[in-house]
Structure 1
Amino acid sequence: MKPEILAPAGSLEKLKIAIDFGADAVYLGGGKLNLRAFSNNFTNEEIAEGVKYCHDRGRKVYAVVNVFARNYDLNGVEEYIKGLEELGIDAILAGDPAIIVAAKKAAPNLEIHLSTQANTVNWMAAKFWYDQGVKRIVLARELTFNEIKGFKENLPEDCELEAFVHGSMCIAYSGRCLISNYMLGRDANKGICSNACRYKYALVEETRPGEYYPVVEDEDGTYIMNSKDLCMIKHIPELVESGIHSLKIEGRMKSEFYVASAVKAYREAVDSYFENPEGYEFKEEWMHILNRVSHRQYHTGFFFGRNGEQNYDVSSYIRNYDIVGIVKSYDPETKVATILQKNRVFKDDCVEVLRARTPDFNVTLMDMFDVEKNVDTDVANRAQMIFTAKVDKPLKENDMLIKGKKVLSL
């Protein structure tokens, strides 16, 4: 079984990028009941456009309704879920039994996926949810491959399994954290986590306020609650052979560059495996693609049972590349590209082109022109600025232009 590549869609633009770069399905949040309150959650009009964009290309859209609902959250929940069904959503992701009950009542034909927030860590729990009408179980991140094997051996064949394979991890068990809520009144289980686990901490003795005693792990301080990022790109054979139906990429809050890169790497790796399973070889270029985006140090989570790798090292991101623009159009006669600026870029800069199903290549941005001001320019330095540039190789609409960050030596 060829697993689905499931990508995050934090906005309509990111949804289209994920699909263009090869995702089989995307997951998004609507106006309520999802755990990314600070994401650019979709309006009903955007959901409809996103669904059409996906369905026209034979892809699927899942809507996240995965909060732990309080009584007041249940007001209008049936109408909201029925509305998602009418917009053409292929499935909802939920972890709260109340929302699942409401979904079965309001939209009995709508497919239900069980959120990882339900922290399903054994096959009997998965079978319980399956018997309640859940089609797919999003496994708890804390499971090993050996444990996942037990799921496959004991569940009905049509009970699908989904697992996170790439992206940020959480210190708390299946993301059920109260630190942010306790410290700042921002409830992670309601979608407004402050990521307090990634702060720097020190000790203060109660009778000596203002005297901070450092807790030192290394020269940068201590980050005992800070999780590395998950990355399973080097283990595609194990993922496929485990029987996982859907390989999920975390990151609805992350950039277009991140979405394009993660989908491209996993799409190429999975396709390469299925082209020749016996002769499959990992390609370092896939790791290079993932190393360019902003990330914390990578590890393999709990899949191989090495739980101790979950939490340590600095909390800062590794960020070696920036996205500098997205190509909106290209004139093959004049060799001029119209580009939407994303980060500062200069005339005559050499940039890399990130394109789906195509090896990366370089182009030089020459003869830059500021469209809004109608003047030649040496730099594109305004957010969302539209500019043109002559390039030495053909480009395509939606090509992503990226550039390595300069490392200053002392």
Structure 2
Amino acid sequence: MTVNLHHEQRGDPAMPPVLLLGSLGSNLHMWDPQIHALSAHAHVIAVDHRGHGGSPAPAGPYTMTDLSGDVLALLDRLGLHSVHVVGLSLGGAIGQWLAAHHPQRVRTLTLICTAAQFAPPQKWIDRAATVRTNGIASIAESVVEHWFTPELAQRDPDLIARHLEMVRGTPDEGYAACCDALAEWDGRGDLARIVAPTLVIAAEQDTRTPPSVHEAIADGIAGAELHVLSPGAHLANVEQAGAVTRLIERHIERRASVPLDAARRAAHDVGMSVRRSVLGDAHVDRAIESTTPFTEPFQDFITRTAWGDVWAREGLDHHTRRLLTLAILTAVGNEHELDMHIRAALRAGVDPQMLVEVFLHAAVYAGVPNSNRAFALGKQALADLADATDGSSRQ
């Protein structure tokens, strides 16, 4: 069951919509520096997560699916099909979930001081127990201590006081139940599913989610851009307000000229062309004919990402990518895909002796049984190809 999230909207609703999702223990006012700047040329929607700020705090535990479902319900109520998502910490986790599970709703993704997994889970379980027993006030100072660098804290005590009140104002159960969500969430396996243009922003002095964590995110999302700011701790959007805002603006503006649907269609068209050139028209036509509403999202995903992105890159030619694919599929023992790529290679005129060398090489490094199976599949593919050729010549 979703909850009706408290939110504020600023700027012209006709402008590109930018959704701001904040940190655990915050409310939407953590985004005040960005709300003011972005609303001059964007429709800004700043949100309080369930259990935070002005949003309801139902009894927990919560899951990342719950928190993300609240956001989707809000977008539906506002009539927003897709938005530019900006998320920090917990908000960044929700942004990753949305981009991986509902890619059509995310135009661009900006991830700030966040992680694909907030390990170890026990830390969050213990923190939830502490807050349920002793109240949020018992950990407020520790939370804010990690939000800002010591130099900023000493220089601006009023800023620290305001954010302490922000944390203390968070309902105990809302905070604890969001800790439960962080404890159970692991989005590392979903990073490769994210196709939205992604900007990743880390802060050098962030001890909660250090730059190394962001490097893993940027490596996992195809084409992601990484920036590390200094000085800055966990609320880098406050300590480095100007730099963060400029990065967000540039990231959105660079994609604003190409509508999301048009960009996806272009990537799909490129991918389909490459896919046909590698696998052949007959195979691709069969795959298209057998597509159902259930399998269509995967067909679209694989065409845009595998074929329209990786196979279309200039770093390796298609012949080299064929051989790499055959070697990798042999190594992991993926017989169905291996058989398909063996037959595609032979139909494309690849010398069978080249396949022999690939499978022999794989035997040394990936094991004889897998290579033995590859030779068997290759032998059968050659026999089938010969039969088909003989049948054609007799007609």
> What's the TM-score bracket when you normalise by the shorter of the two chains?
under 0.3
Of Structure 1 and Structure 2, which has the larger fraction of its residues in helix?
2
Scaled by the length of structure 1, the TM-score of the pair is: 0.25
Rg: which structure is higher? 2
Of Structure 1 and Structure 2, which has the larger fraction of its residues in strand?
1
Scaled by the length of structure 2, the TM-score of the pair is: 0.26
